[in-house]
Every structure is written in C-alpha cells, then in structure tokens.
Amino acid sequence: MKFGLTLARLALVLSGCSGSDDNGDTASEHDPVVIVAGTFSGDKSSDAYFTPLATRLRNDGFDAVVWAIPNHGLGDIVDSAGVLADFVADLLARTGSEHVDIVAHSQGGLVGRYFIENLDGDQEVDSLVSLAAPHYGTREANLADFLGLGSCAGIVSCEQMAVGSAFLDELNDGDDTIGDVAYTNIVTRFDEVVIPYRNGFLHNDGNNTNITLQTQCPFRLVGHVLLPLDGATYTGIVDALEHRPIQFNCWAL
C-alpha cells in the first residue's frame, strides 16, 4: 500500500499536465463526477489514492469528489449501492445538478451498475466510466474455494464478484446497459485481479463502449491497481465524460 501511495503522490505532482485538451470549460458546464473507489479502500486511503485523478479532473473543469465503498468494500454490494444512492441524492441537492457522472474502479463499477439498474440511478447518472470492473466476475474471487478455504473466506463482496455468482447472474440478466446512461468500460491486458480481463466488458446495446488500453497503447504496461493513475487512461476518461470517441494519448504522464 505504501508503494501505491508513493506512486499516487508522484502522479499528483504530474497531474497538472493532463492529457486532455484544454477547452476552457468550467465546472458549471459539466455534471459533478463521483469517483467510486474499489475493494479494500477506506475513506482516508481512497482520498489519498484517488487525489491525482480528482485533481486532474478539477484542473480540466470538473467538480470531482471521491466516494469510498463502506466497510472497505468487504460487505454486500447491494447495501453499498444503497449508500451510494444516498450520496448521489445529497450531491445533486447540494449542487443543483440534474445528473452526475460516475468514474468507478474495480468493485466500484459493480456498485455503480447496481445503483443504476435497481435504485433508479438511471435517472440520475449521465455517464458510468468503469476502470477494470469485474462486470462478469473474476476467477481470483474463486481462488479461496479452489484452495479449500471456503467461498472467499466469508467475504461477501468477494463471493459476489466470483465468476458465476448469483449476484452477477442477476445483475447481468437482460440489458447490461439500461436507460440513457453512456457506459464506457476501460480495461488493461495486464490486469492481475480481474481474470480474464475481458470480464470488464459489458454487452453492447447501443450505449456502451468497451476498450482495452493496449489496443491503442500497446506498450502501456499498466495493471489493475494503477489503472486509475495512468495518464493515458485519464485521457480516455475525459473523452468518455465528454461523450467523444475514446482516443488515448499514449504519451500522457
């Protein structure tokens, strides 16, 4: 964790040089952006780790806030989505905005999708940008069962993120991308957590974009944990929030 936070501080120093074009937009011209952290992140660690991403977004005119999944993301994703729904409602009331955008890492993508699909979030979310989210599960979550340690050693969210779980079967039953929400799923071939990495994709129903970072930036050696801090990935996030085709700046810091 200390290594990750060190990289986060380095990225913060570099965050003034975002890879997106400076179009002069102000925060009032964008929906507020909720950065949803992933598993094992608490309030303090999420704030520290996602500060570079939030700072980049603010420098580009977005009102960005970081939201951590309760209980470090170890509890029921359904309950976590309910807390996110309350947070979004308060944010909309405070800002006077009609919609929010969500940029979600890892488990955060599932929390965001459950909110959209089951808690009327499709009425409040304009864009959901998922970064290495296990939308169709990860074999890593099946590992404890394979080793005879029990199903994810009793961690509820881990059980829910296992390939073929009842939670994922229900979440993925029918249209993956309901409503008028614009869905973007950015994954990396070097993902060491979501296996296979293509499980981070959603089925396309006309309002969905699936993209692997290395299809445009083949030498970008970025794994699961550092994807939210990657400069090239950031340029794709901005494209998604601006409803533009994803064109990564492969040279971005």
Residue 162 lies in a domain: no
Q: Are 135 and 109 in contact (CB under 8 A)?
A: yes
Task: State the residue range of the domain holding 85.
Answer: 27-136+177-241
The pTM assigned to this predicted structure is 0.86
Residue 233 lies in a domain: yes
Number of domains in the chain: 1
Neighbouring residues of 49: CB distance < 8 A, sequence distance ≥ 6: 4, 5, 8, 37, 41, 228, 229
Question: pLDDT per residue over 42-95, tens digit each?
Answer: 667 677 899 999 999 999 999 999 999 999 999 999 999 999 999 999 999 999
Residue 4 lies in a domain: no
Q: Which of 32-41, 76-85, 150-159 has the highest mean pLDDT?
A: 76-85
Residue 221 lies in a domain: yes
pLDDT of residue 19: 37
What's 117's domain CATH number? 3.40.50.1820
Residue 17 lies in a domain: no
Residue 3 lies in a domain: no
Tokens of 97: 């905005």
Residue 41 lies in a domain: yes
Question: pLDDT per residue over 6-29, tens digit each?
Answer: 344 344 333 333 333 343 333 458
pLDDT of residue 28: 52
* Residue 98: pLDDT band with limits 50, 70, 90: very high
Closest listed residue to residue 115, CA positions, set 81, 67, 83:
81
Residue 16 lies in a domain: no
